[in-house]
Amino acid sequence: MEWDNLRVFLAVARAGSISRAAQLIDVRHSTVSRRMKLLERQLGARLIERKKSGYELTAAGEELKIAASRMEAEVLDVEGSLGGRESRVTGELRVSAINNMASSVLMPMFAAFCDAYPDIELHLQVSNKYVSLAERQADVAIRLTNAPLETLVGTLLTKVASAVYGERDYVRSLRATGVKEKWLGIECCAFHQSWTRAACPERAHHVFVDDTLLTIAAIREGLGLAYLPCFMGDSDRRLERFRPPDPTHDLGLWLLYHPDLRRSKRVRLFREHMIARVADQQDLFEGRRASAESRPRRPADRAVGGP
């Protein structure tokens, strides 16, 4: 059996369909289908069965998945131990990041990484949903959370502060007149939903939005107040803080990856790059418009669930 065929099988096993597996490893649908048939002929056993919901592994497929996952871990370990001896780093790096961060404050950081390591193919996956690093849906995930999974290795890059923002003229009119403020109905994430319910318990919303970029657009039009991360709200001249950041709303910005990738040089270089770049923007993330505070020391790479 060739490792490439097993790699294709793992993609199908994790994605649950041939088409999604083809996207995951960037090959043609026909190639995935052909290699799966070849592998089944070599083993003399069915590995997947087609169901209404997609493909499911047979008993033989489940057994092969365990063995192939062990092989994958060995390959990654060899890559990490030997790849570090090469000055030229190549290969793919798949990074999953939150939409509002990836398209704004993080994109210049990604661009700088590409300039520094032009032989690394950076695949950016924008997702606000859970991404399984154990199933190799991504190599690295950048997430806002105060409770990352304990099975992952993580680096806390910084804290992200949030505040209540409104369109500049609207905020000034509220302060001048003292009239009851309007609030946007937020459906983008559990954090903003719960904070908005506490601030506006009567839930008298006339406009609802399910994305942070939509929230900014609605605020600009004077449709109401809403919580925003300070790195977004403070960067828009048309917005003004109605309430200052509340430390109880701070969220950790984590760079997460699976322990099997601890020795991967691509992951290590990306981690070090992001630590340095985020530190340069620490005031923006933490909601300090101007601060003379000293920079914190560089965060340590550790198991998320460790002490």
Q: How far is CA 272 from CA 51, 122, 123, 137, 155, in A?
A: 43, 15, 18, 22, 10
Q: Rounded to whole angstroms, how far apart are CA atoms 74 and 80?
A: 10
Q: Do residue 260 and residue 286 come from a single domain?
A: yes
The predicted pLDDT at position 296 comes to: 44
Q: Do residue 193 and residue 294 come from a single domain?
A: no
Q: Do residue 257 and residue 155 come from a single domain?
A: yes
Q: Do residue 144 and residue 258 come from a single domain?
A: yes
Which of 106-115, 199-208, 272-281 is predicted least confidently?
199-208
Residue carrying structure tokens 């020391």: 297
Q: Do residue 154 and residue 265 come from a single domain?
A: yes
Residue carrying structure tokens 């990490």: 80
**Tokens in use for 257?**
């990856």
Strands of the 162-167 sheet, one edge to the other: 226-229, 162-167, 239-243
Q: Do residue 262 and residue 201 come from a single domain?
A: no
The predicted pLDDT at position 2 comes to: 77
- Please tell me the total count of domains within the chain: 3
Q: Do residue 156 and residue 185 come from a single domain?
A: no
Instruction: Tell me the residue type at 290.
Output: A
Q: Residue 274's Cα: distance from chain center in Å?
A: 13
Longest dimension (CA), the chain: 78
Could you list the residue range(s) of the whole structural domain that residue 228 is in?
162-249
- Higher-confidence residue of 54 and 192: namely 192
Q: Do residue 268 and residue 149 come from a single domain?
A: yes
Last residue of a domain, one of 203, 226, 249: 249
Q: Is 176's pLDDT higher than 70?
A: yes
**What confidence category does residue 170 fall into, taking pLDDT thresholds of 50, 70 and 90?**
very high
Q: Do residue 119 and residue 245 come from a single domain?
A: no
The predicted pLDDT at position 290 comes to: 38
End-to-end CA distance of the chain: 42
The predicted pLDDT at position 292 comes to: 32
Q: Residue 235's Cα: distance from chain center in Å?
A: 21
pTM for the model: 0.66
For residue 127, give the CATH number of its domain. Answer: 3.40.190.10
**Tokens in use for 279?**
């530190």
For residue 48, give the CATH number of its domain. Answer: 1.10.10.10
Q: Is 145's pLDDT higher than 90?
A: no
pLDDT in tens, 246-277: 999 999 999 988 777 777 888 889 999 999 99
Q: Is 295's pLDDT higher than 50?
A: no
Residue carrying structure tokens 């790479």: 301
Last residue of a domain, one of 43, 65, 83: 83
Q: Do residue 176 and residue 298 come from a single domain?
A: no
pLDDT in tens, 42-94: 888 888 888 776 778 888 888 888 888 777 777 766 665 554 454 567 888 98
Q: Do residue 139 and residue 13 come from a single domain?
A: no
pLDDT in tens, 3-31: 788 888 888 887 788 887 787 777 888 88
Q: What is the CA radius of gyration of the chain?
A: 23
- Helix (H) / strand (E) element for 268: namely helix 265-280
Q: Do residue 231 and residue 175 come from a single domain?
A: yes
